[in-house]
């Protein structure tokens, strides 16, 4: 082994941990994620040549790549990016940029970051797995083809910035929208239950009406008793039965087995249901536990790799946990043989990894408490408990079913008592588990007396809204997405304001509904459940080496392209060419594809006119209140703005009186990042946590929700205050404002001074003596020239001139202003110093000049093909359109785009203006 070895990982935290474990002879550097990707402003995919991607080093990663190149000189290089297909692709890019052969043994994997595993891994490098790289490459190309072409369509359709669509995110949004539609369409069904209290041989118990004759009271979604009159009639008949008896007593032991150790999706579900965490929060904390925590024994990763579909566990981990269980809990909690689990959807599972488990079960959570942050401790505890519980004995329940009969009526009571806690000793019960119900000792065939009968009205409930946990569960069951995509998908939908959170539930916004309605109609395959699941399966086949990635991409892209071609184009009102979405330093806008010949542009976001709401302004009592639309939503203001500056929030009220001013109400607002916060609609009260109705026992202000079961006070002056440090927050805001002003003043720099200097030499305004000689030079129309002469440049003379010429005074004033404007413009031009004549333009570039720049322009395949066939001649467009089977206007657009980009490259090379 060479004396020095460079190990490349993804994150700085991971690099720090591994450097401590490897010691001398090793240098560990971080790539900080992806170092190369498709270009930001171009498609970057050559569709005509098997979707060949054109990768480039990201601008912010060039210093990192340069640093890696310097560090790699004269050293052996090992690439230890994350052990999944995304990590494999990052490693492939690093090898390519460092000039290494991916077929050489240079790839190492750390499924857990512990000294033993890390040292063993660096001794056994392997070549980069090209199948994994191809699978990730196919996913990236697919996402680019969809996002790059579909997102502008959405932005133009809905006239909104920053809209996006994607293979997985659009399907996830469709699930949420359809669930909301199902809830709205749901019609509650009334039904009634009857519960009797019985006594048998001095033992009292309750039982529910189970059947009448041979008809069940409830069977699935069918109910026998559906209205109050029917319930009362049945209750009357039940009370009229002369005698009841205990017809049967059935006793059996019920076994509840432990669940498998965590996969990515089940970890996100458990963290959501038990702790109320979002999927992204869960993965952030899990990443820190995987990358390493400083302990007295050194820096150690506490859990195995957290992006996995597998429930497999290594033999070493099994041996360790099977030794721990009897030592800590007793022999009765250890099964005779280890518990083995199988992945539910074996066809789509990535079984290359282990399940998520502690790297050592001997590191109990309570022993690590002082070394971990709160979130890290909570999540590690959950993972440790789940893994240990998975290798324990089942929980046992004694279940008793008692059947009471009388006449045509049958009642049933079910009792369940925990007999042996088994794995529940560690993992505890889940939310929603049935509570224990102990029945008294009863004897079969013994008589029973009905003491009381209660009827209760119920209504069927609509399907629940998705939470992070239930959405991830459904996506996993349907085969949509993979472990690494669940959290980013939900985050993207929330960031794009397609959904909003209400406690744990996810609701679609009106924008989310409109987008799905449009996509379902226009691009049905993009949001089709089966099609998306099939694509995920095909991507797995690429990973297994069973399919070629360009062929799989083609299977998706061809149907998508047919749908894309049917989308009607918005046309330029000036020249009739199609409009396209463009980006400037001020954001997105619509521009003509004929630029620079046609320079038509228009705003992307159409400004909405104020909408009257039928209320008088309470501040000035003169204007009417109107609804206006700002950057962060709608608000109410006075129609007389800016004379009257009255405004108020138009936000959902919580119905809670403001504890500060006692005049306004607390309303919920949404920040520009899509996060809810709470403020008063009358004063400056603000809270980033949910304001509760309960009062602080110390100061009387309202309490705020902190976490799942904790509350704090909203009063900054109270010792129970749980909000942010307002003084520090204001200081940071002031500092940011000051820095922004400094940057602005520096940016203006010389240009501001130049503008000032340009204004200073302005002399006195022109007199009539200065302007009169220019009447002939300007070439004013006769009526404007006559008006200028009669008034001699004085507006006060307009009424007399109008009377003399027999004109309306308003028309005369218009002629005066037009004439004086033109004369003053000409006077200003005559006073400017004469500029040097520009150099004569060189001859326009020929196709022979331009053809070498075809490849440098990085044209999309269709533009490149049109440029080649026309050889830069616009008159050849109709013939080329016919050859390619494209509409002539579309071919002309492609021609103009291509020639513009090629000429720009030619101009950059020549460092001079390019001929038309």
Cα–Cα distance, 336 to 776 (Å, whole number): 112
d(CA 743, CA 236): 84
Q: CA-CA distance, 781 to 775, in Å (whole number)?
A: 10
Backbone phi and psi for residue 123, each to the nearest 5 degrees, phi listed first: -85, -10
d(CA 538, CA 547): 8
User: Where would I find the beta strands (DSSP E) of 479-623?
Assistant: 499-502, 505-508, 579-584, 587-592, 601-603, 611-616
Q: Which residue pairs from 815-821 have beta carbons closer than 8 angstroms and sit at least 24 positions apart in sequence? A: 815/783, 815/784, 815/787, 816/787, 816/788, 816/791, 818/784, 819/780, 819/784, 819/785, 819/787, 819/788, 820/771, 820/788, 820/793
Sign of CA dihedral 618, 622, 628, 630: negative
Quote the CA–CA distance of 589 and 80 in Å, as a whole number: 43
Phi, psi at 409, each rounded to 5°: -105, 140
Residue 676 three-state SS = strand
d(C-alpha 265, C-alpha 344), whole Å: 12
Map tokens 């090898």 to a residue: 95
Please pick, among 55, 244, 290, 305, the residue that the annotation labels catalytic: 305
Specify the DSSP class assigned to residue 356.
B
* Count of all residues that appear for the chain in the document: 916
> CA 691 to CA 274: how far, in whole Å?
22
Q: Contact 524/563 with Cβ under 8 angstroms?
A: yes
**433 Cβ contact list (under 8 Å, min separation 6):** none
State the residue for tokens 């990236």: 140
Nearest residue to 305 via CA among 164, 113, 507, 550: 113
**Closest listed residue to residue 425, CA positions, set 370, 465, 459, 388:** 388
Structure tokens at 794: 């004085």
CA distance 804 to 811: 13
Q: Which residues contact 709 (CB under 8 A, 6 or more apart)?
A: none
For residue 440, CA distances in Å to 202, 208, 448, 777 come to: 10, 16, 13, 114
Active site residue 305: yes
Q: If you search the block for the tokens 């090629």, which residue do you land on?
A: 902
Phi-psi region of 304 (alpha: psi -120 to 50; beta: other; left: phi over 0): beta
Q: What 3-state class would DSSP assign to 915?
A: coil
- Give 515's contacts (C-beta < 8 A, 6+ positions apart): 154, 158, 163, 165, 170, 173, 498
> How far is the C-alpha of 232 from the C-alpha of 584, rounded, in Å?
72
> Which are the catalytic amino acids?
305
């Amino acid at each position: 082994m060479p004396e020095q070895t460079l190990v490349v990982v993804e994150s700085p935290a991971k690099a720090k941990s591994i450097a401590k474990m490897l010691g001398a002879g090793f240098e560990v550097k971080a790539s900080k994620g992806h170092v190369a990707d498709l270009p930001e402003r171009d498609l970057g995919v050559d569709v005509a040549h098997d979707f060949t991607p054109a990768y480039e080093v990201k601008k912010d990663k060039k210093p990192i790549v340069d640093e890696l190149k310097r560090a790699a000189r004269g050293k052996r290089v090992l690439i230890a990016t994350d052990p999944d297909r995304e990590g494999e692709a990052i490693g492939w890019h690093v090898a390519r940029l460092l000039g290494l052969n991916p077929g050489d043994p240079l790839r190492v994997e750390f499924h857990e970051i512990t000294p033993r595993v890390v040292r063993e891994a660096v001794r056994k490098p392997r070549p980069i797995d090209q199948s994994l790289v191809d699978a990730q490459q196919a996913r990236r190309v697919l996402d680019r083809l969809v996002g790059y072409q579909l997102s502008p369509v959405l932005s133009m359709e809905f006239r909104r910035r920053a809209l996006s669509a994607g293979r997985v995110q659009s399907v996830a949004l469709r699930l949420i929208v359809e669930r909301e539609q199902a809830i709205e369409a749901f019609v509650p069904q009334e039904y009634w239950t009857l519960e009797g209290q019985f006594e048998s041989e001095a033992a009292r118990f309750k039982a529910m009406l189970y059947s009448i004759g041979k008809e069940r009271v409830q069977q699935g979604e069918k109910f026998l008793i559906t209205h109050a009159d029917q319930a009362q009639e049945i209750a009357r008949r039940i009370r009229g039965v002369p005698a009841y008896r205990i017809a049967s007593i059935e006793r059996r032991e019920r076994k509840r087995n432990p669940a498998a150790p965590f996969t990515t999706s089940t970890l996100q579900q458990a963290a959501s249901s038990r702790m109320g965490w979002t999927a992204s929060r869960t993965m952030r904390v899990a990443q820190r536990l995987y990358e390493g925590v400083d302990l007295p024994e050194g820096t150690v990763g506490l859990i195995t790799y957290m992006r996995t579909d597998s429930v497999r566990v290594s033999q070493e981990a099994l041996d360790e946990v099977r030794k721990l269980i009897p030592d800590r809990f007793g022999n009765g909690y250890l099964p005779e043989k280890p518990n083995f689990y199988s992945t539910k959807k074996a066809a789509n599972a990535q079984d290359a990894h282990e399940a998520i488990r502690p790297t050592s079960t001997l590191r109990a959570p309570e022993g690590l408490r002082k070394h971990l942050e709160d979130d890290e401790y909570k999540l590690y505890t959950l993972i440790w408990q789940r893994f240990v519980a998975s290798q324990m004995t089942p929980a046992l329940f004694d279940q008793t079913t008692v059947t009471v009969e009388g006449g045509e009526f049958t009642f049933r009571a079910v009792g369940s008592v925990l007999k042996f806690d088994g794995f529940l000793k560690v993992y505890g019960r889940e939310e929603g588990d049935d509570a224990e119900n102990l029945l008294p000792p009863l004897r079969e065939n013994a008589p029973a007396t009905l003491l009381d009968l209660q009827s209760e009205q119920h209504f069927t409930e609509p399907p629940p809204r998705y939470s992070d946990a239930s959405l991830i569960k459904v996506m996993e069951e349907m085969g949509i997405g993979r472990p690494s995509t669940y959290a980013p998908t939900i985050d993207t939908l929330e960031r794009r304001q397609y959904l909003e959170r209400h406690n744990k539930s996810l609701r679609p916004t009106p924008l989310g509904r409109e987008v799905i309605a449009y996509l379902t109609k226009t691009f049905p395959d993009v949001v089709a459940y089966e099609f998306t699941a099939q694509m995920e399966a095909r991507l797995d086949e690429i990973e297994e080496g069973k399919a070629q990635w360009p062929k799989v991409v083609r299977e998706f892209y061809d149907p998508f392209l047919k749908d894309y071609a049917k989308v009607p184009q918005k046309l330029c009102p000036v020249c009739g060419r199609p409009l396209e979405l463009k980006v400037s330093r001020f954001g997105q806008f619509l521009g003509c594809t004929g630029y620079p010949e046609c320079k038509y542009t228009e705003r992307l976001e159409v400004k909405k006119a104020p909408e009257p709401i039928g209320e008088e302004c309470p501040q000035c009592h003169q204007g009417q209140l109107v609804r206006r639309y700002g950057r962060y939503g709608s608000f109410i203001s006075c129609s007389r703005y800016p004379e009257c500056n009255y405004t108020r929030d138009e936000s959902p009220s919580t119905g809670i009186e403001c504890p500060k001013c006692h005049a306004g109400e607390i309303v919920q607002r949404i920040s520009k990042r899509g996060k809810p916060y709470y403020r008063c609609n009358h004063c400056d009260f603000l809270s980033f946590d949910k304001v509760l109705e309960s009062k602080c026992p110390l100061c009387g202000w309202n309490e705020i929700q902190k976490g799942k079961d904790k509350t704090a006070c909203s009063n900054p002056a109270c010792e129970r205050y749980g909000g942010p440090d307002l003084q520090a927050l204001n200081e940071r805001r002031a500092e940011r404002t000051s820095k922004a002003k400094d940057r602005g003043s520096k940016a203006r720099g010389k240009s501001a001074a130049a503008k000032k200097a340009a204004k200073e030499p302005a002399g006195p305004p022109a007199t009539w003596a200065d302007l009169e000689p220019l009447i002939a030079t300007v070439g004013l129309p006769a009526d404007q020239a006559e008006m200028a002469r009669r008034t001699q440049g004085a507006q006060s003379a307009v009424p007399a001139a109008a009377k003399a010429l027999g004109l309306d005074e308003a028309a005369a004033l218009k002629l005066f202003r037009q004439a004086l404007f033109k004369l003053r413009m000409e006077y200003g031009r005559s006073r400017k110093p004469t500029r040097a004549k520009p150099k004569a333009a060189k001859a326009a570039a020929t196709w022979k000049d331009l053809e070498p720049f075809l490849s440098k322009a990085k044209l999309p395949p269709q533009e490149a093909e049109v440029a080649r066939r026309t050889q830069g001649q616009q008159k050849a467009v109709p013939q080329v359109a016919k050859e390619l089977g494209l509409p002539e206007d579309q071919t002309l657009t492609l021609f103009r785009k291509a020639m513009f980009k090629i000429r720009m490259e030619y101009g950059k090379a020549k460092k001079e203006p390019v001929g038309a």
